């Protein structure tokens, strides 16, 4: 049985992106609706629809998959006795024909209270913000390239103080970053007209898209758009090159944890899809099964793999040197932001580092895992 629905044939990277979005939204919605807020606003800033398969009934559209997953969480919690929960979707699309299709979708799903905004996202920020004045807001930013007005979007995200997921289009950005004709559009994307000077200062071994992403994340933190910006790469289905990078913007350490947990699940899916596509005539492997090959590849480059554990150890040591000790609640999210590792894997690593005499921390009784308030220092 194929891992990819038929409507995503030839667009496997989009399926991986949509699966990540759905899985993250589900986990986030359970946490938010059960604790922080009874209202979950979902903003799809560049809703499309794009390149849908004929007859798919929007099942391969991000807005459909996201709203259906959020409504499923809401229904599940209501069945368990929670009341007064609300999911409020906002779709924005600048193309008139696509916006009309969104309106048709909203009418067919009138119980979902979908609001459709036609025009550029940057031109609709005020109206969307008015609709999101209460509750938690999650914004999905999935532009087809980079020609967007980040300056206004950053202000919008700061005022809402929620979370966002950005699809950073690595492949086209990598091809065009040094073209003179796109200097101005990259300046809008980075909210910095003078970006080229900082671009030139980046390490020479970095690719063009890695430099642009570095500048974008630095500007987001400078503007206080997000405290943490973990990233996951999605490769082209049949190649080793990166097609896109998903960037979560959050102020919550829990958001970083959920991101890395979701990444672990989706990485396994991505490796499985890529392996399936490679297993054509003449394919040879030393492994007895496809699952065994997937597990081996995940061990080489996945969340919490040995290489990432080594990076995490170096990051912990460097952080403790800089800060002369800190609390685990401060240390953990910074490590997990930069390095693909789950909180459970980091907890195990901290125990191992203590046993090896690299770090020190005191735990009460039979407690084995450091708590958020646990002081950590170099041994």
Residue-wise pLDDT tens digits, 50-104: 765 555 578 889 999 999 999 999 999 999 999 999 999 999 999 999 999 999 9
Residue 317 lies in a domain: yes
**pLDDT at res. 53:** 57
**pLDDT at res. 300:** 78
Residue-wise pLDDT tens digits, 118-147: 999 999 999 999 999 999 999 999 998 999
Phi, psi (deg, nearest 5) at residue 218: -60, -40
Q: Which of 250, 277, 304 is the last residue in one of the domains?
A: 277
Residue 111 lies in a domain: yes
Residue 269, SS3 per DSSP: helix
Range of the structural domain that residue 114 is part of? 6-277
Instruction: Of 1-15, 167-181, 213-227, give the range with the top mean pLDDT.
Output: 213-227
Residue 233, SS3 per DSSP: strand
Q: In the chain, which ranges are E strands?
A: 39-44, 86-93, 115-118, 136-141, 163-168, 231-235, 242-249, 326-327, 359-360, 375-378
* Closest alpha carbon to 93 in 127, 124, 139: 124
Residue-wise pLDDT tens digits, 332-379: 999 999 999 999 999 999 999 999 999 999 998 888 889 999 999 999
**pLDDT at res. 275:** 80
Domains in the chain: how many in total? 2
pLDDT of 305 strictly over 80? yes
Residue-wise pLDDT tens digits, 185-242: 999 999 999 999 999 999 999 999 999 999 999 999 999 999 999 999 999 887 788 9
Assess whether 75 and 170 both reside in one domain: yes
Residue 286 lies in a domain: no
Q: Is residue 131 within 8 Å of residue 37, measured between CB atoms?
A: no
Q: Give the CATH number, domain containing residue 347.
A: 1.10.10
Assess whether 330 and 218 both reside in one domain: no
What's the predicted TM-score (pTM) here?
Answer: 0.93
Residue 1 lies in a domain: no
**pLDDT at res. 178:** 87
Assess whether 33 and 82 both reside in one domain: yes
Residue 158 lies in a domain: yes
Residue 313 lies in a domain: yes
pLDDT of 270 strictly over 80? yes
Assess whether 271 and 309 both reside in one domain: no
Assess whether 135 and 63 both reside in one domain: yes
Assess whether 138 and 46 both reside in one domain: yes
Residue 62 lies in a domain: yes
Assess whether 322 and 370 both reside in one domain: yes
Assess whether 61 and 152 both reside in one domain: yes
Residue 285 lies in a domain: no
């Amino acid at each position: 049985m194929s891992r990819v629905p038929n409507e995503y044939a030839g667009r496997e990277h989009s399926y991986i992106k949509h699966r990540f979005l759905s899985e993250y939204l589900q986990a986030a919605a359970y946490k938010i609706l059960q604790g922080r807020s009874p209202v979950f606003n979902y903003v799809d800033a560049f809703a499309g629809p794009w390149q849908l398969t004929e007859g798919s009934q929007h099942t391969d559209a991000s807005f459909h998959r996201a709203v259906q997953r959020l409504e499923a969480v809401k229904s599940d919690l209501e069945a368990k006795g929670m009341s007064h929960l609300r999911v409020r979707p906002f779709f924005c699309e600048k193309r008139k024909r696509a916006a009309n299709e969104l309106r048709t979708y909203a009418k067919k799903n009138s119980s979902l209270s979908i609001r459709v905004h036609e025009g550029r996202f940057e031109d609709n920020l005020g109206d969307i913000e008015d609709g999101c004045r209460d509750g938690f807001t999650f914004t999905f930013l999935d532009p087809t390239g980079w020609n967007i007005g980040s300056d206004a979007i950053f202000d919008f995200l700061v005022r809402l103080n929620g979370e966002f997921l950005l699809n950073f289009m690595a492949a086209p950005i990598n091809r065009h970053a040094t073209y003179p004709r796109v200097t101005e559009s990259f300046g809008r994307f980075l909210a910095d007209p003078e970006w080229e000077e900082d671009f030139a200062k980046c390490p020479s071994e970095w690719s063009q898209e890695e430099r642009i992403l570095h500048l974008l994340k630095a500007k987001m933190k400078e503007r206080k758009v997000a405290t943490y910006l973990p990233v996951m790469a999605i490769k082209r289905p049949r190649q080793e090159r990166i097609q896109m990078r998903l960037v979560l913007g959050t102020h919550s350490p829990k958001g970083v944890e959920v991101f890395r947990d979701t990444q672990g699940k989706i990485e396994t899916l991505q490796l499985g899809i890529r392996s399936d596509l490679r297993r054509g005539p003449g394919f040879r492997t030393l492994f007895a099964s496809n699952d065994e090959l997937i597990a081996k590849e995940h061990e080489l480059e996945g969340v919490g793999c040995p290489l990432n554990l080594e990076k995490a150890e170096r990051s912990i040591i460097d952080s403790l040197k800089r800060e002369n000790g800190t609390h685990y609640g401060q240390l953990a999210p910074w490590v997990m932001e930069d390095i693909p590792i789950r909180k459970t894997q980091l907890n195990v690593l901290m125990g191992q580092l203590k046993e090896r005499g690299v770090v020190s921390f005191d735990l009460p009784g039979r407690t084995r895992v450091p708590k958020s308030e646990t002081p950590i220092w170099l041994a």
